Amino acid sequence: MTAKNYTGLLGVILVLVGGMCPMLRVPIFGNWNYWDIDTVLASIVYSLSALALIAAVTRKQGLLRFSGWLLLLMLVFTLTAVYFKANDYFSFIPLKKLAAAATRMIKFKWIGWGLMFAGTFIIILFSGKEKVSLKTSPKMPG
């Protein structure tokens, strides 16, 4: 395996570990990781991580970069959805000040989000195409 494959593998590990870390603190329910936030989105992200893992092991740099971009898209979508859901979570409370106070009690835990985004950026940035050296290419006849 090349260094790019190892960095892709490191990125996948960071995404998987970040998904298991606490990402949201909900007052009564406790800390939520990616799976607790939404099982469908978590299934998609873990499947894309498995695809990236397979691409890193089999040296498919294009597939690794593609899965990295899809992971980034899913993470941005999830972060946006969680932000809007957290702001709308207590909308059933008729008193607006009480609802706003309850909304402020929901806290983001940035270590999980940070690990997932760092792993995704590592996958994208270090999964470029292999450069072909002119010294190792066969000589042209004539």
The most confident of 27-31, 70-74, 136-140, by mean pLDDT? 70-74
Q: Output 69-75 pairs: Cβ under 8 A, ≥24 positions apart.
A: 69/124, 71/15, 71/45, 71/120, 71/123, 72/117, 72/120, 72/121, 72/124, 74/41, 74/44, 74/45, 74/48, 75/45, 75/113, 75/116, 75/117, 75/120
Ordered by start, the domain boundaries in the chain are 3-125
pLDDT digits (tens, 9 = 90+) for 43-100: 999 999 999 999 999 988 899 999 999 999 999 999 998 888 877 777 677 777 777 7
Find tokens 């690990």 and name the residue.
115
pLDDT digits (tens, 9 = 90+) for 35-49: 988 899 999 999 999
